[in-house]
Amino acid sequence: MYTPILATLGFILSPDGKKILLVHRNRRRDDHHFGKYNGLGGKLKPGEDIFQCLQREIYEEAGIHCEQAILRGTINWQGFGSREEDWFGFIFRIHRFSGEPKTSNEEGDLEWKPLEDMEKLTMWEGDKYFLPLVFDSDPRIFHGHMPYRNGIPAGWTFSRV
């Protein structure tokens, strides 16, 4: 039986659309994500819908209220992370928020990075496959599959509808 962990991953754009708020996972050396930049998000809790999960996670991690988000895609990550778990992620681009973002959280520093420089950042190797789809102008939602083996992507396929 396939029972993945359901999660959100949100990429918050600055009001001018030129920067993105990322967490630099630099707080805990035992963190499997240590040293990497990532969007914000986390696991779905019982009783939540996926947008409520995104809003809660963004507030917990950045201290801001997510007001407008666009679902850009979904990804089935099989064998991901230190425990090689199966994850199913809902990937959002966040266009409007209220409040002032925190400068850090328990996972690391929150940093505004130029959108054009994302490929220069230390991220998960697999991010380079789907991030262009998150930020392109194609209005269709993508649905991807990215199996991991030994901590690296073993493939990438997607469709758009």
pLDDT digits (tens, 9 = 90+) for 8-59: 999 999 999 999 999 998 887 776 777 789 999 999 999 999 999 999 999 9
Nearest alpha-carbon partner for 97 in 21, 3, 39, 151: 21
Domain residues of the chain, as ranges?
5-160
Q: Which CATH number fits domain 5-160: 3.40.190.10, 1.10.760.10, 3.40.50.150, 3.90.79.10?
A: 3.90.79.10
Q: What local confidence, expressed as pLDDT, does residue 34 receive?
A: 79
- From the CB of residue 52, how many other CB atoms can be counted at a distance below 10 Å? 13
CA distance 50 to 67: 14
The whole model's pTM is what? 0.94
